[in-house]
Amino acid sequence: MSGTSPRAFRGEILSVGGDPREDTGAVRYEADGLLVVEDGVVVARGPHADLAERWGAVPTYAVPGLIVPGFIDAHVHYPQMDRIASHGEQLLDWLERHIFPAEQAFASRAHADAVAAAFLDELLRHGTTSALVFATVHEQSVDALFAAALDRRMRIASGKVMMDRGPADLCDTVATSRAESEALIHRWRGRGRLSYAITPRFALTSSDAQMQAAGDLLAAYPDALLHTHLAENRHECDAVTARFPASRDYLDVYDGFGLVGARSVFAHGIHLSARACARLAEAGAGIAVCPSSNLFLGSGFFDFGQAQAHGVRLGLGTDIGAGTSFSLMHTGGLAYQAALAREERLDPFYALYLATAGSAHLLHIADRVGALAVGQEADFVVLDDRATPLLARRTAQASLAERLFAMQILGDDRIVAETYVLGHPAWRRAGGCSPPA
């Protein structure tokens, strides 16, 4: 998008660039703001009154809602979108009965292409512009996702799932998992806004040798993330303890293979010891909190107080298809409810932080996205707090915090009026105003 002339977006603007529980200046809000974008990057942002003189001549679009940064899904499985709402099981049985059979279909590139396109469009409809995504064990499942993300200019990290102890028809080997991961890294490196995540599925589906291979890859490719699951469900934790009796806890299993570092993103972390939290914080590793999934699979409630006490980095994930909503606003509302179940109170601005800059920090992209700061890429969403009759009633005469919370509790894709990628409209709700091309 080089050489485009600047354009401006005028309206209400909100971002939470840091943890508002620790930094009172983290919430940035302009009731009548101006966001100026050039070549896909934010070049100015502030109160309209302050910027009008400098940018008054730039074509300006009056935005019909609240501008927030594009959402960042820190943990989601694209091959599972068509198995969402599969009834009746907790994690291990749900994987066997519903998920592994669905993932086998991704041996077909045509199937992977079709699902990847539908998945990314669904992200955009929900205001999600960046994500850390599980593919399947098949190398071509990653090719399909990266190709579709490149077309849409989205910021996507993904990787081939490593699982040499998976079912017979959804399984690789130490050698093929290493070779295919490296081939993907070399094939996609430096293209668009894509990045690679080394992705051992979880401790139960990899041999010791494969987890060591993942650790070796992480050491060899310092730009890559490490993406896996950790301490999600009681039955899973019991099975991990049975297989690794000498490890101090679940995280210690990963630590033994060099998988715990600053670029490690662990989904869930529902059942974590104080030792594991301290170790995560020490390593600079983070947790993608996935409350809709944890509720759906009966896994439990994330302990935000414990994580904060240890200084563990957090982001927010939908974990589709154990998760039940693509909406990170709604997922923020479920995080509030999960916290309350442990008698903790989650502030709506903190929930927005988790869904934007918090996830960005986890994915090591906070210099690029998440806060709509000058110099960042112009990925943003226009939210409509009157999207339904009930929301309109609840948000009338409400404070900003109340409006945000109402959208988190009552919202879904209907609150997303428009989604912009690099300053260009990527999705617009039917009946909306006409944004600039």
Which positions touch Zn ion (CB under 5 A)?
A: 267, 319
Radius of gyration of the chain from its Cα atoms, rounded to whole angstroms: 21
Amino acid at 363: L
Q: Would you say 103 or 255 has its CB closer to ligand GUN?
A: 103
Total residues at the site for ligand GUN (CB under 6 A)?
11
Minimum CB–partner distance for residue 271 and ligand GUN (Å): 13
Amino acid at 171: C
Query: Bridge partners of 62?
Result: 10
- The residue among 93, 97, 98, 96 whose CA lies nearest residue 320 is 98
Minimum CB–partner distance for residue 80 and ligand GUN (Å): 6
Q: Which does 232 bind (CB under 5 to 8 A by kind): ligand GUN, Zn ion, none?
A: ligand GUN
In this structure, what token pair is assigned to residue 55?
């940018």
> Which residues lie closer than 8 Å to 350 by C-beta, 6 or more apart?
16, 19, 20, 21
Of all helices (H) and strands (E), which one includes residue 424?
strand 424-428
Q: Would you say 266 or 353 has its CB closer to ligand GUN?
A: 266
Q: Interface residues for ligand GUN in 293-312 (CB under 6 A)?
A: 293
Site string for ligand GUN, 276-295 (x = CB under 6 A): -----------------x--
Question: Mutual orientation of helices 208-220 and 174-188 as an angle, nearest 10°?
Answer: 20
Amino acid at 398: A
Structural contact between residues 254 and 240, judged by C-beta atoms closer than 8 angstroms: no
Site string for ligand GUN, 68-107 (x = CB under 6 A): ---------x-------------x---x---x--------
Measured CA to CA in angstroms, residue 295 lies from 44, 178, 356 at distances of 41, 34, 22
Within its chain, how far is the Cα of 420 from the centroid?
Answer: 17
Structural contact between residues 51 and 34, judged by C-beta atoms closer than 8 angstroms: yes
**Residue that has been written with the tokens 């990628």 in this structure:** 421
Minimum CB–partner distance for residue 391 and Zn ion (Å): 30
Minimum CB–partner distance for residue 19 and ligand GUN (Å): 26
* One of 172, 319, 384, 385 touching ligand GUN (CB under 6 A): 319
Minimum CB–partner distance for residue 203 and ligand GUN (Å): 9
Minimum CB–partner distance for residue 96 and ligand GUN (Å): 11
Q: Would you say 116 or 383 has its CB closer to ligand GUN?
A: 116
Q: Would you say 290 or 371 has its CB closer to ligand GUN?
A: 290
Pairing type for strands 380-383 and 71-77 reads unpaired
CA atoms of 353 and 4, how far apart (whole Å): 30
Site string for ligand GUN, 193-232 (x = CB under 6 A): --------xx--------------------------x--x
CA atoms of 58 and 52, how far apart (whole Å): 9
Question: Mutual orientation of helices 328-341 and 400-410 as an angle, nearest 10°?
Answer: 90
Q: Would you say 134 or 405 has its CB closer to ligand GUN?
A: 134
Minimum CB–partner distance for residue 321 and ligand GUN (Å): 8
Q: Which does 202 bind (CB under 5 to 8 A by kind): ligand GUN, Zn ion, none?
A: ligand GUN
* One of 76, 276, 314, 322 touching ligand GUN (CB under 6 A): 322
Q: Would you say 83 or 394 has its CB closer to ligand GUN?
A: 83
Binding site for ligand GUN (CB under 6 A): 77, 91, 95, 99, 201-202, 229, 232, 293, 319, 322
